[in-house]
Each structure stands twice: as C-alpha cells, then as structure tokens.
Chains A and B, each alone.
Chain A
Amino acid sequence: MRMDFSTKRVVYINLASHTSEVKSIPGLNKYIGGVSLGLRLLANDIEKDPVVFSIGPLNGFFPYVSKTSIVMHHQGVIEDIYLGGSLSLRIKFMGIDAIVINGASKTPVILEITDGDVAFKSMDVPIDTLGLPGKRSVITFAGEKISHDSFFTTPETFLETKLTEKNITGIVVTGSKTFSIKTAFKYEQLFNALLKQEDDMEVQKSDNPSCSGCPMGCKKSQVGEIGGNVLIHSLVACTFAQKIYSDVGIVFSCLNTLGYDYTHEDIENLPKLVEEIIKELS
C-alpha cells in the first residue's frame, strides 16, 4: 500500500444504523494525528456523542511509538486516554488514522473491523473467532474493566462507561496492509538509532507483555496513560519515551524519512491547535 500523505483516512461507524464508511479527509493533515486529530474529529461530530480512537504517523514505523489515543465526552468533560498493547499497530496496518464511533446500538454488539470494513456481530459470537490471528487486537470486558489483548487496560473507567452506553461489548481490529518505504536505508538507520535510546526511557525493562514496537515490557504500560504532552500524544508515542519524542528535531526526521512534508512550524503549532479545539468544545 502506498502511504497517502495528503489526507487522513477515518472509519466512521454509525451504531444506530449498523453502518460504516471510510472517508479520506484532506483538511485534517495539520492535526498530525493522535489526540490532536481525535479532538478535531470529536468536535466535528460532538452532537453524535462519538468515541474516537486515533493513531499518529509514526505508529507502526518507529520504536516506543506504541499507544492509541482515545477521546470522548464524559459527564461534561473531554477525556483523553492512551491505551498500550498492539492496537495502534493494527489500526496503522488497516491503513487507517482514526475510528469514530457515533451513536448507540439498540442491541449489544461486537465490532469486527478488518482493514477498515466493519461487521456488526452479536455478543453471542465468541470474540476469539473474529479477526485474523497474529494480525488482530481484541478489546473486551473483563468484569467492569476493559481488557485489551487479555492484559492491557485503561487508567480510568471513561471508556468502559462510554462503550457500555453505546452497547458495545467488544472490538476486534485486524490490519493486513503493508507499506513500502522509499528511503529504506535512512529509515533503518533512524529506527536503529532510536531503538538504542533505551536509556532515555523513563521505565525499566520488565517481564510484562510489551506494547507492540517497544522492547521494554514495563510495569507501567498495562494501565495506559491519561493526559500529558500534546506532541507525544499526537504521535502517539509512549509518555515514558518523552525524552526521545518531545525533541522536535527527531520527530521532524522521522516524519521526513517516511515522506511526510510537515515543517518544524507545523509540529510547534500543535499545542495551539489543540487549545483552539478545546475552546471550541467548551
């Protein structure tokens, strides 16, 4: 698959009608990804009470860029949380930048999302039979908490409340697209250099399951993250890698290597863009 650097590809899911569509939206590029993109999409559809999953341009390509941004409106407040595990890579490998889930289903439903196509499955279907093994991420409930890949969960209960309101009992995401990189040698050099910056991580290596693309297996990522640095969460890199990915020069190099034509100013302007959306929403 050729990467399209001029648009963002968004899966829109309408739970009331059990329909979906993929839209390519050019005007969203300045939001780069993650929380910035998610907030813009949330604001666009706010009357439909969306929950928005979004990733950034570096997810799936560079180490420690391993989280998925999730934004929603919860009891009058805009909440942003960041989920670890394998989800961000599966969304990337669908060739999708964000998933917007609008409205509520009349009956309990499992969303099976494969390369952007959505199937609405009855909650009676065993969730482990959905998606493609090795290429899927599974979100389900373990009691009152979300369980992602049977290990990862969320730092609060905003997502759990929202999915329950929407009558969603599970989500299975499968990504089977591949991408080629024009500047393969430069990409590999940069990937290796970043991977070696393990000492800049704010967590210690441990023996927990890892988020995809991260060698740490740390004890903190199991419960995800909440709030924090706008640039980190727009990429959506791990907060514990903020020494690496809050460096605008490094971010610029990564984006440039993949073929994006963002400028330093685009990256520096992100906090202002997010501030504007939050003002619009409040």
Chain B
Amino acid sequence: MPKTKTLRVTFPERCRRCELCVMESQRQLEKVGLEGALIRISKNNDALSFSIYLDPQVNKLDIEKIRTRCPMEVYTIEERDEDGLFN
C-alpha cells in the first residue's frame, strides 16, 4: 500500500518565529516573500509563543527539507497508508 507523508507541527511551543521554514517553503515555490505562503506564523497574546498554520498544499513540497530547516525541530513527518479516496 502506498504511503503518504505529511508535515506536522508537533512541538509548536518550541517555535521562535525565525520564519526559516516559511522562507524554505516559499523558495521551493521559487519566490521570496510572505504572500501565498503555505506556512503562516502568528504571535500569540503572550508574545513568547506562536501559532503555526499549515496549508495542506505544503505536503506537495519537499517537506523533509522544510522539517530540517527548523532550528528548533518543531516539525515531524507523519507517514501513513493511503486508504482510499480520502487521504
């Protein structure tokens, strides 16, 4: 059975908003900037923690490269079986 790899925000509390993951995902789309980014990072009210939003389209990119770009190892890659029409 084929496997699907998905980028997961496993340790959001580690994020320091360096935005290197955003830059990497944008670079894979051959652009520099924030518009249309598949990863968005927003500051939480406490100013020291951040929320990370992933567009599912990010999984079409080289997610291993995005994962390793993060200096805090915020991301993991989940591998699961493709089980039908929805995956």
Contacts and interface: CB of A to CB of B under 8 A. Distances in A.
A135 B34 contact: yes
Nearest to A133: B42
B56 to A, nearest CB: 17
Contacts of A215: 18, 20, 71
Contacts of A211: 18
A103 interface: no
A89 B19 contact: yes
Given A177-B33, A179-B32, A134 B42 contact: yes
A199 interface: no
Contacts, number: 84
B77 interface: no
Q: Give the most central of B20, B26, B42, B48: most A CB within 10 Å.
A: B20
Q: Give the most central of A63, A151, A207, A210: most B CB within 10 Å.
A: A210
B61 interface: no
B40 interface: yes
Contact of A210 (B18, B26, B27, B36): B18
B35 interface: yes
B32 A212 contact: no
B19 A213 contact: yes
B77 to A, nearest CB: 20
A136 to B, nearest CB: 10
A191 B31 CA distance: 14
Interface string A181-214: 1001000100100010000000001011111111
B20 A134 contact: no
Q: Give the most central of A93, A215, A216: most B CB within 10 Å.
A: A215
B19 A61 contact: no
A211 B49 CA distance: 14
Interface residues of A, number: 36
B47 interface: yes
B23 interface: yes
A149 interface: yes
A119 B60 CA distance: 38
Interface string A136-168: 000000000000011100000000000000000
Given A175-B33, A175-B34, A151 B48 contact: yes
A180 interface: yes
A185 to B, nearest CB: 11
B20 A213 contact: yes
B16 A149 contact: no
Contact of A86 (B19, B23, B31, B47): B19
A224 interface: no
B16 A210 contact: yes
Interface string A49-85: 0000000000011010000000000000000000000
B34 A208 contact: no
Interface of B: 16-20, 23, 26-27, 30-37, 40-43, 47-48, 50, 53, 71-72
29 contacts: A60-B32, A60-B33, A89-B19, A93-B33, A93-B34, A93-B35, A133-B42, A134-B42, A150-B43, A176-B33, A176-B35, A179-B31, A179-B32, A179-B33, A181-B30, A181-B32, A184-B27, A184-B30, A205-B71, A207-B16, A208-B16, A209-B16, A210-B19, A212-B18, A213-B19, A213-B23, A215-B18, A217-B71, A217-B72
Interface of A: 1, 60-61, 63, 86, 89, 93, 133-135, 149-151, 175-181, 184, 188, 191, 195, 205, 207-217
